[in-house]
Amino acid sequence: MLELNIASLELNFYILIVFENRFGNLNG
C-alpha cells in the first residue's frame, strides 16, 4: 500500500509540472 501511495504522489507531481509548463508556454 505504501509503495502505491508513493507512486500516486509522484504521478500527481509529474502531472502538476506538465500542467504548469503548458500554461507557462501559453502565457509566454
Residue 28 grid cell: 509566454
Q: What are the distances in angstroms from CA 11 to CA 14, 19, 21, 24, 25? A: 5, 12, 15, 20, 21
pLDDT of res. 24: 79
pLDDT value of residue 16:
95
| pLDDT tens sequence across 11-28 | 999 999 999 998 877 765
